[in-house]
A = this chain, B = another copy of it.
Amino acid sequence: MTAIWEPEARYRIWFEIEAHAAVKMGEMGTVPESAGKALWDWWATAPKIDVAAIDAIEAVTKHDVIAFLDWVAQQVGPEARFMHQGMTSSDVLDTTLNVQLVKAADILLEDLDALLAAIKRRAEEHKYTPTIGRSHGIHAEPVTFGLKMAEAYAEFSRCKTRLLAAREEVATCAISGAVGTFANVDPAVEDYVADKLGLAVEPVSTQVIPRDRHAMFFAVLGVIASSIERLAIEVRHLQRTEVLEAEEYFSPGQKGSSAMPHKRNPVLTENLTGLARVVRSAVVPAMENVALWHERDISHSSVERFIGPDATITLDFALARLTGVIDKLLVYPERMQKNLDRMGGLVHSQRVLLALTQAGLTRDQSYRLVQRNAMKVWESDGQLSLLELLKADEEVTAALPVEVIEEKFNLDYHFKQVDTIFARVFGN
């Protein structure tokens, strides 16, 4: 990902745009056909791009594209003077940025595929591994660890769909001249270059490609980062000393802390939490970039020099790191079961409540019956058993036979739709 944003990579895209345009202009008779040929012949020699030399010219001209054109002209010779005919710098710069963002999106899409594959594998592995579901950080009802993974899979699948749309948003090419009127360059040139680069033509540009496209692109990166944060925080919670249902992989050579040798800290997912903030921070500046003055101002450019590489490289790194975390996550089913059991069966209270209602009690009566026993269990810190208390509560047994009460504490009851959910998420 870093390579996309190196000066050399940028200059290579610049060259391709100029050379493709020269070929088409040659075909159309705007410039000699020899111009495009000379450019591509030189290119075929796999020339090194001398970034320092171009920088030196720019230091004088204070204009990056002119500096580049001058340098190419020095290499290729007089035919190069036909480059850039009727074009404006932004034709090159903006199309290049979009090529870079498309390449970045392609890498991020691969990252997402790798992450989805890792999540899917762990989902299937733990499809029926029981664990407590928590709302508000409080034990609620049983779920499976596979279901947690299935949710993540569905979420990152949505991220992929959004990224495909975001990629399409920025996959455009503009070769339309100083104010977008094609006054000195035929739209056929734009068509040709767009086609060669695998882009669509920008329907109407105004020297620049409109920045709402890029705002949307970075907004999608921000949403993906937020989903990364969600899964990272899940791992951080599971690794807490008191919970310890899962842990980031701990390599033998690794020291967790300079002072406390027993500690295994979820530093990768804490790091991801921070990186999510970093990627998200690109969103508002990208939106502030939309409202350029008239046909263009250049305020967007300094912003993009930061957020272009930073947001894509960080997200690439974060997705790869998260994939590693999930892939190698140490999962502890015994501890999950232990945590499930620690509340003395309170997690089954909802089922008892329903059974009482269905047995004819009002909602309120049922609620009070369950609540008075549940509170005893709660206050015993899980030492008392809800099942035993209910079986000893005459008002309860008056409404429900003991065997019915017992059935309500069956864990498998909660997992009967896991297969349905998996089919929705992973297909058949």
- Are B206 and A133 touching (Cβ within 8 A)? yes
Are B259 and A350 within 8 A (Cβ)?
yes
The complex places the Cα of A107 from the Cα of B331 at a distance, in Å, of 47
A-B contact pairs, 21 of them (CB 8 A): A62-B255, A63-B258, A88-B258, A133-B179, A135-B294, A136-B267, A136-B293, A140-B179, A141-B183, A142-B181, A154-B210, A177-B259, A183-B417, A203-B425, A204-B421, A219-B219, A274-B302, A277-B303, A278-B303, A306-B310, A306-B314
CB proximity of A255 to chain B, nearest CB, Å: 5
Cβ of A187 < 8 Å from any Cβ of B? yes
Q: Which residue of B lies closest to A300 (CB)?
A: B274
A85, A259, A265: residue with the most chain B Cβ atoms closer than 10 Å: A259
* A293 and B137 contacting across the interface, CB-CB below 8 Å: yes
In the complex, per-residue mask of A258-294: 1 if CB is within 8 Å of any chain B CB, else 0: 1111111111001101111110111111011111111
Most chain-B Cβ atoms within 10 A of its Cβ — which of A239, A350, A363? A350
Inter-subunit contact A362/B81 (CB<8 Å): yes
Name the B residues within 8 Å of A135 (CB-CB): 178-179, 207, 257, 263, 265, 294-297
Contact A287 B223 (CB under 8 A): yes
Copies in the complex: 4
Instruction: For residue A24, give the distance in angstroms from its CB to the closest CB of chain B.
Output: 15
A243 to B259, CA, bound (A): 24
Interface centre among A290, A351, A417 (most CB of B within 10 A): A290
Q: Are B262 and A141 in contact (CB under 8 A)?
A: no
Measured CA separation A139–B180 after assembly (Å): 14
**Is A261's CB under 8 angstroms from B296's CB?**
no
- Chain A at the B interface: SS class: helix
Measured between C-beta atoms, what is the minimum distance from A357 to chain B in Å? Answer: 7
Interface string of A155-195 (1 = CB under 8 A from B): 10011001001000100000001111111100100000000
Contacts A287-B280, A351-B184 given; does A261 touch B294 at CB 8 Å? no
A184 is contacted by which of B178, B306, B354 (Cβ under 8 Å)?
A: B354
Number of interface residues of A (CB under 8 A): 161
Query: Is A337 positioned at the interface, with any CB of B under 8 Å from its CB?
Result: no
Residue of B nearest to A208 (CB): B135
Cβ < 8 Å to B, chain A residues 240-265: 240-244, 251, 253-255, 257-265
Interface pair A282/B283, CB less than 8 Å apart: no
For the complex of A and B, the 6 pairs showing the least CB-CB separation, nearest first, are A133-B179, A274-B302, A136-B265, A226-B290, A262-B374, A273-B299
A328 contacts which chain B residues (CB < 8 A)? none
Q: Is A38 an interface residue (CB 8 A)?
A: no
Interface residues of A in 296-336 (CB under 8 A from B): 296-303, 306-307, 310, 314, 335
A136, B266: Cβ atoms closer than 8 Å: yes
A229 close to chain B: CB less than 8 A: yes
Query: Which residues in B have their C-beta under 8 angstroms from that of A296?
Result: 135-136
Is A147 a contact partner of B204 (Cβ separation < 8 A)? Answer: yes
Q: For the complex, give the distance between the alpha carbons of A141 and B303 in Å.
A: 26
Asked if A150 lies at the interface with its beta carbon under 8 angstroms from chain B, I say yes
Decide if A263 touches B420 in the complex (CB within 8 Å).
Answer: no
- CB A278 to nearest CB in B, in angstroms, measures 5
**Across the interface, which residues of B come within 8 angstroms of A55, CB to CB?**
none
Among residues of B, the one whose C-beta sits closest to the C-beta of A186 is B417
Interchain CB contact under 8 A, B357 and A287? no
